Structure 1
Amino acid sequence: MEMAYDKCSAHNQSQDFVAFSGKRKSQRLENQRIKRQKIENADDVPTGTKITDINPDCLEHILMYLNLGDLLNVADSNKYLKSVAEEIYVRKYGRKNAPEYCGKTILEISAISLCRMRNYEFDGYSLKLGDLKTCLQFVRCFGHLLHDIILDNVTSSVSNVYGRTLIYINEYCGDHLWFIRIKGFDLSTAFKKPFLKVTVANLIDCGFGKKSLNWLFPNVTSISYKSHGKFLNIDKHMPMLKCLYIGVSQCGKLSNSGKKAIEKAFRLNPQLKRLEINLGAGLNLQLLSKVSKYIQSLEDLMLKATLKKDFCFANDTIYFKSVESFYLNLKLEKDLKTINGSNDIQNLNQTEDELLLPNIPFAFDRLKHLKIRGNCRYSDQLFSFISKCPTINFLQFWDYIFISKTDVAKIAAMLPAVKKILFYERYSLEEVCHYLTEFKLLNEFGFRLKNEDDLDVLRTRFGHEWQISPGFCVDMKRSVRR
């Protein structure tokens, strides 16, 4: 009896299990059918919240946590996110201490940085990019926000790779840049359109092909041009040009064609107001004397020389009628000579005369500011030059141009109208008092004290008449100007 009951129970359990398995299978099939129906009718089903639906303030808060690479990817995704990413870029990488730039920063693209950093570096003032992909993406997304671009330290091995960056800069930044600095690029094919807003161009060892500077930068007001010696494409009239700097690159030499191009540039641009020349490698005072008749509108002249022979001039005095500021930087090196025509070089012993300031072969009618810096001691040549410029009212001497008490009396007699003097040498309290007595119209005097403890004595003696500010140099300004 018990055995018959066990068989019956087992049969019922087996039937229940089969029924349960069938239900699970049918349920699974039903679930699959519903899922297929949802997929087929996906367009009719409302979607969830998209990132573009987020409140703009919340979205900006989220994007502030992204680095530059991720921010570029966001800007690349769609137009709405690009506009938000631009705001984040200006906040994080804009120059906060320069309101005139409206948050714009300087972009630096350097080939040398490829082996020194990853994608980018930011120092609070300039954004340095070293990765080609990042360069292209950045210029495409944020190029219209840039005012200044620097392409520097480029070697010939990578200049072709970075040629595409130049094309992007011309396309996306060309209508917005104010300043551009380029070193070591061939620009003959990269730039298809001119930079209409660029006012300052700094060009070092660049090739231009048949493109002239007046086509590339039609509204430029200041050009710094350094070349190996050819100076091609500068021999055009640039109507807005006011400031020009020219110099020959290291190991270069001014060619005959380069001299002709420079002469033509000066002849076609008589409106120049400021000229700076780095003398050397064929760029000398003889050439300046030849072109001086074309640039009589100059108001500011700056000359730099490292060899005494580059500043020698045996002909007549070079005359400028309108120059008001003259800056002479003579950090002269020891002359070198070749031994028996070989490549062996030896130093010549500098004599006492070689340490003296050489003759200054210039004459000015309206000179007001004379600034001399160098490693030469003052000489009678300096006093001879000063005596011919009685209109000077601002004297500035740096480095080894030390003026003694005796010499101060000479200068005071030659320049009675001097109102401002900056001598970056150390003087005693007695010498300072002597200088203040000699120059009757002096309103400002800058110098360094031999004994810093004398500063309190100086304030006690002159504090009622002069405002005295300590620092690298002591700056004294007369309270009531004369």
Structure 2
Amino acid sequence: MDNRNEAAGRKRQPEGANLPANKRSKPSETVSADVQRASNKTAQKPTKIHYTRLRRRMEEEEEEKLAKLGPDPNLCTTKLTDVNVDCLEHIFKNLSLIDLLNVADSNKQLKPAADLVFASRYGKQSIEINLEFKFVRIFERNQQTAKILWLFCFKLLRCFGHSITKLKIIYGSSQNATLDVKIDRYVSKYCSKSLVEIELKHCASRTLNDLKKPFSSVESLYFVSCELGSKLSELNKWFPKVQRLEFLGANELSDCNDIAVNFPDLQHLSLYLPDVEKNRLNQKHFAELLRLNPNLQKLYIYGHIDAKHLQSFSKHLQHLESLEIHPFGYFSNAKNGTAHFPNVRKLKLRGWARRFPMTFDKLEELIVISIVMDQTLANFISKHKTLTKLNYAGNKYGEPGALLKITLPALDEVDFGYCAFPIDEVITFMKKCTSLKKLTLRFCDEKDYQTVQNRLGNKWRETEKEYYTTTMERQLTS
């Protein structure tokens, strides 16, 4: 019994009882150490960790319950990229062009639908890039929008260049050479297959020299006041399917000796031929171009051509159907011969001609502007019995007797604009032209029209009137 009490006494002895008196801890110090250890243990395992674990466990239990119940039929889990192209196209139709650009540039899966929207909305529109004033304009948009679009110019070519069909580029000054080169590179890279029509204005010779691959779909090509380099003689290589080629304004020929190119599909040609031979598209270049493209159907010439050159040109234009010359000037050497165009059906002359060294076999429509209606012009008109339409806009008064010379039996429609003739001549003209259905001319006084109406009866009726110009139409008899 004593031994058990002694053992129990030993168990109840505090820690450090066997230590010397000088090394034993005081009771207060022992409690303080226990508190410190407890606080350290609490700091190592904060309450937040326990909360996080508890929340995670609750979420897992919730997911397990939902998995057993199955998916909620009212919960939509479809992403935008999972929607088919037709639906996306319908959605994207409500976006502005800039937002559409951002969509196409941000996600490859959304781009096909954005392409469809751009093609349907802007694919047939002409897009103008102005490097001088820094704006991009789609012609239905205002100037403010054009300035904003300039910030997205290169993104526009990169994202939607393959859908652009009509493009006009107005180049800037020589200070913007770097910008010009960049635009040319982007157009060549992203638009070469899609463009059908392209107009270049004020471009430098390097524009043609920097071409890397052909524009395989271009049908209409316009150069307006451009500096044309050595590659002008290779235009058919870079634009193999051109049907309409126009040189408008003074086009400089910097390094080009000729434009001897053949376009298998060329139908319409317009050339600017000023009375300067140096560094210009001159008559020698023009003649060679016509010789290599004999199947032209429409030709527009702006410039000075004498009868000799006109006659030499006509030899290469046996299939020509439409001819326009502006200005059509004096032909002092008309005695050298006349130019014959066997298949031309439409002729338009503007200028101050006193001679007309040309003949036609099938001329149907004649438009004459700013040439005096005198006996010379009347004689030229009267030679072409196949004429059905005549449009004249020149001096206010026709020379007496001129109108009676052009009483052609096939004339169907005549428009003299503001040109007036004596009343007796007008009535005789209207009676002799048995095929005439519509006549527009100038009456100096209201009484003149009433006189014509009274003498012709109900056969003719006024259909339109503007100041002194009156349009009358023949009434069909039942």
> What TM-score do the two structures reach when normalised by structure 2?
0.71
Matched to 1:209, the amino acid is S
Any idea what the Cα deviations from partners look like across 1:408-455, whole Å, max 9, x if unmatched?
A: 22222xx33322211111659957655422422212323456568999
Deviation at 1:76, TM superposition (A): 0.7
Q: Aligned in 2, Cα 1:440/1:57: closer, same or farther, shift over 3 Å?
A: closer
Q: Aligned in 2, Cα 1:76/1:419: closer, same or farther, shift over 3 Å?
A: same
User: Are 2:387 and 1:392 aligned?
Assistant: yes
Any idea what the Cα deviations from partners look like across 1:151-181, whole Å, max 9, x if unmatched?
A: 1254333244122222222222222222111
Any idea what the Cα deviations from partners look like across 1:339-379, whole Å, max 9, x if unmatched?
A: xxxxxxxxxxxxxxxxxx522222223322221101x4323
Deviation at 1:194, TM superposition (A): 1.5
Aligned residue for 1:207?
228
1:378 to 373, 378, 395: 373
- Conservation of the 8 A alpha-carbon contact between 2:273 and 2:280: no
Matched to 2:100, the amino acid is L
For 1:373 and 1:275, how far apart are their aligned partners in 2?
A: 17
For 2:367 and 2:406, how far apart are their aligned partners in 1?
A: 14
- Conservation of the 8 A alpha-carbon contact between 1:200 and 1:223: yes
- Conservation of the 8 A alpha-carbon contact between 1:109 and 1:128: no
For 2:333 and 2:155, how far apart are their aligned partners in 1?
A: 54
User: Are 2:297 and 1:279 aligned?
Assistant: no
Residue correspondences, number: 411
For 2:450 and 2:82, how far apart are their aligned partners in 1?
A: 67
User: Are 2:312 and 1:296 aligned?
Assistant: no
- Conservation of the 8 A alpha-carbon contact between 2:373 and 2:399: no
Specify the SS of the correspondent of 1:188: helix
User: Are 2:409 and 1:416 aligned?
Assistant: yes
For 2:44 and 2:96, how far apart are their aligned partners in 1?
A: 52
Alignment of 1:124-203 (within 5 A): 134-152=152-170, 154-185=172-203, 186-203=206-223
Deviation at 1:182, TM superposition (A): 0.9
Specify the SS of the correspondent of 2:339: strand
> What TM-score do the two structures reach when normalised by structure 1?
0.70
User: Are 2:271 and 1:246 aligned?
Assistant: yes
Deviation at 1:131, TM superposition (A): 6.1
Deviation at 1:215, TM superposition (A): 0.8
Aligned residue for 2:12?
none
Alignment of 1:256-405 (within 5 A): 258-280=282-304, 284-305=306-327, 308=329, 312-322=332-342, 323-330=344-351, 357-374=353-370, 376-400=371-395, 402-403=397-398
Deviation at 1:269, TM superposition (A): 1.6
- Conservation of the 8 A alpha-carbon contact between 1:108 and 1:129: no
Q: Aligned in 2, Cα 1:255/1:189: closer, same or farther, shift over 3 Å?
A: closer
- Conservation of the 8 A alpha-carbon contact between 1:273 and 1:299: yes
Aligned residue for 1:100?
none
Q: Percent identity?
A: 27
Specify the SS of the correspondent of 2:416: strand
Aligned residue for 2:251?
228
User: Are 2:439 and 1:445 aligned?
Assistant: yes
For 2:465 and 2:156, how far apart are their aligned partners in 1?
A: 42
- Conservation of the 8 A alpha-carbon contact between 2:247 and 2:271: yes
For 1:406 and 1:452, how far apart are their aligned partners in 2?
A: 22
Any idea what the Cα deviations from partners look like across 1:71-102, whole Å, max 9, x if unmatched?
A: 211111122322232344356x43xxxxxxxx
Once the two structures are overlaid, the 10-residue window that deviates more, 160-169 or 134-143, is 160-169
- Conservation of the 8 A alpha-carbon contact between 2:372 and 2:394: no
Deviation at 1:123, TM superposition (A): 1.7
For 1:465 and 1:124, how far apart are their aligned partners in 2?
A: 50
Structure 2, unpaired ranges of 5+: 1-34, 58-75
For 1:315 and 1:107, how far apart are their aligned partners in 2?
A: 49
Aligned residue for 1:470?
464
